[in-house]
Amino acid sequence: MDGLLIVISGFSGSGKGTILNRLLKDYDEYVFSVSMTTRAPREKEVNGKDYFFVTREEFEKAIKEDGFVEYAEYCGNYYGTPKAYVEEQLKNGKSVILDIEVQGAMQIKEKFPDALMVFVAPPSIDVLLQRLRARGTETEEVIQKRILRAKEEVERIDKYEYLVINDNLDKAVSELHQMAEAAKFSTKRLSKFMAKIKTELNNI
Ligand code: 5GP
């Protein structure tokens, strides 16, 4: 059976990156889909590991060539999930993690109805603001843009199936893993099996 597609969204500063790094370190079954972006690399970010950093022209070329499972514009930059890697890993039975924002997540929900949709929230907005500022990688102007985006995103949380409240890293990682385990047995995901059972039953 194909692997599980896992969509993780969350406000900028929710700590989802830290949760994902730990999940990927602790369990072999997960792989991370490295996105393509036109955003400039932050200090310490590595091309090919954190993102594939490209120009707008390169990104638009990939759109034309149907190279993405989803893509969106976020705070003035393009972000997209390259198609080939996701398809290959799902075929290999791996659980593929997409760390993407809400517009892209909605595209995935359309294309892959059995994807697991998880939203990561901070325990409070005070904590979110502290984390955003403590990171020190963004200017105040960028932080303000991201807060504005969070205000839009909060309206769409109910499109996700599960929420992880990130107040404790170990707990958050364990909860996310349990959600993925449960999702493997969802009726949506096992729809082919259910259709077979139904046909067999009706043929009696
Ligand atoms: P950042 O610039 O902080 O790395 O990411 C900004 C936002 O873009 C985050 O919410 C992140 O989840 C999202 N993002 C990263 N990669 C992708 C992608 O491939 N597609 C979409 N739609 N969003 C992405």
> Does some domain include residue 90?
no
Please say whether the beta carbons of 187 and 36 come within 8 A. Answer: no
CATH number, domain containing residue 148: 3.40.50.300
Specify the pLDDT at position 13: 84
Which amino acid is located at 57 in the chain?
Answer: E
Q: Write down the pLDDT at residue 178.
A: 97
Q: Which domain holds residue 103?
A: 5-33+95-202
Does the pLDDT at position 66 exceed 90? yes
| Choice from 5, 85, 100, 131 to test ligand 1 binding pocket (greatest atom count within 8 A of CB) | 100
User: 125 lies in a domain?
Assistant: yes
Ligand 1, atom 20, lies closest to the CA of 80
User: How many domains does the structure of the chain reveal?
Assistant: 1
Sheet holding 51-53, edge to edge: 51-53, 35-37, 77-82, 68-74
Per-residue pLDDT at 25: 97
Q: Is residue 156 part of a domain?
A: yes
Per-residue pLDDT tens over the stretch 135-185: 777 888 888 988 898 999 999 999 999 999 999 999 999 999 999 999 999
Is residue 37 within 8 A of residue 51, CB to CB? The reply is yes
Q: Can you spell out the DSSP letters for 94-158?
A: PEEEEE--HHHHHHHHHH-TT-EEEEEE-S-HHHHHHHHHHH--S-HHHHHHHHHHHHHHGGGGG
pLDDT above 90 covers a percentage of the chain that reads: 79
**Helices assigned H by DSSP within 10-55:** 16-26
- Please tell me the predicted confidence (pLDDT) of residue 12: 83
Q: What is the dihedral of CA 62, 68, 74, 78, to 10 degrees?
A: -10
The predicted structure's pLDDT at residue 132: 85
Whether residue 1 is predicted with pLDDT greater than 90 in this model: the reply is no
Tokens representing 83? 């198609």
pLDDT band for position 23 (50/70/90)?
A: very high
pLDDT score at 139: 86
pLDDT of residue 112: 95
- Beta bridge mates, 22: none
Choosing from 11, 34, 37 the residue with most ligand 1 atoms within 8 A of its CB, the one to mutate for a pocket test is 37
Residue 183 counted as domain residue: yes
Q: Is 35 a residue whose pLDDT tops 90?
A: yes
**What's residue 52's pLDDT?**
98
CB burial class (10 A; 0-12, 13-18, 19+) of residue 103? middle
Handedness of CA 30, 31, 36, 41 (dihedral sign): positive
Q: Residue 171 C-alpha to ligand 1 middle, in angstroms?
A: 24
What is the gyration radius of the CA atoms in the chain, in angstroms? 18
Tokens of 35: 């996105």
Report yes or no on 147 lying in a domain: yes
- 49 lies in a domain? no
Do the domain assignments include residue 116?
yes
Residue 48 lies in a domain: no
Give yes or no for residue 96 having a pLDDT over 90. Answer: yes
